[in-house]
Amino acid sequence: MSIPAEAAAAIVAAGRRMDALGWVPATAGNISVRLGPDRIAITRSGRHKGMLEAGDVMAVDAAGAAIEPGARPSYETLLHCGIYRRFPGAGAVLHGHSVANTVLSRRAGDAIRLAGYELLKVFPGGPTHETAVDLPVLDNDQDIARLQAALDALWDATPEPPPGYLIRGHGVYVWGPGMDAAMARLEALEFMLLCHLEEGRPMR
């Protein structure tokens, strides 16, 4: 299946933006957009996100299986599929590995509370800074299906899940109705996490 040029261009641009900000070192991270009810465009495995080209984007079905015979999608494709399956309004998913989200997730319990930040406005239900978001933190697991099951259980128990979560010592997942919204949420979240990290440093 050919990837619409607009979808491929959005993924390539997102990869370059995330790379410029230091959030996808080496070949880390993955990026996707929803193409339809049962098709997803996602980065191929092992591609450096700052050097993406249109050919580095491939299509998978709703279960994460490659449409193109022999093509290998990102190892964590099932987590993207899980987001699209759970949240009908999700149109793009970003996964990155910043220093802030990696360090904070290693220190955290089940969630990181972000409160009082102006940039909380970028999340649904946050019209002012006078709000708080509990960003879930899940233990890392190389069994992606088991990790997705843990996410499903968490979402089942959460009335209004935030559009993002952390995997301990690994990275962050954020989504939005389109790539622009997903990127705005990622940038806002990374800024707040960096502030959170800096607040934990001893004063000199």
Domain-wise residue ranges, the chain: 5-199
Chain-centroid distance, C-alpha 18: 11
- pLDDT of residue 202 exceeding 70: no
Nearby residues of 68 by Cβ (< 8 Å), 6 or more positions away: 1, 58, 59
In the CATH hierarchy, which fold is given to the domain comprising 5-199?
L-fuculose-1-phosphate Aldolase (3.40.225)
On average, the pLDDT of the chain sits at 92
Give the model confidence (pLDDT) of 110-135 as tens digits: 999 998 898 988 887 656 567 788 99
Annotated binding site: 95, 97
pLDDT in tens, 76-91: 999 999 999 999 999 9
Mind listing the pLDDT tens digit for each residue in 153-174? 999 998 888 889 999 999 999 9
pLDDT in tens, 26-38: 999 999 999 999 9
* pLDDT tens for each residue of 132-148: 889 999 999 999 999 99
Residue numbers in the known binding site for Zn(2+) are 95, 97
Question: In what side-by-side order are the strands of the sheet with 111-115?
Answer: 57-61, 39-43, 30-36, 92-96, 171-176, 164-167, 132-138, 111-115
Contacts of 97 (CB under 8 A, 6+ apart): 23, 24, 25, 28, 29, 170, 171, 172
What ranges make up the beta strands (E) of the chain? 30-36, 39-43, 57-61, 92-96, 111-115, 132-138, 164-167, 171-176
β-bridge pairing 164-167 and 132-138: parallel
Structure tokens at 174: 């954020």
Give the span between the Cα atoms of 25 and 14, in whole angstroms.
Answer: 14
Helix (H, G, I), strand (E, B) or coil at 183: helix
Task: Please state, in angstroms and rounded to a whole number, the distance separating the CA atoms of residues 109 and 116.
Answer: 20
Residue 178 structure tokens: 């389109």
pLDDT class of 75 with cuts at 50, 70, 90: confident
**Residue 204 pLDDT > 60, yes or no?**
no
In this prediction, residue 129 carries a pLDDT of 60
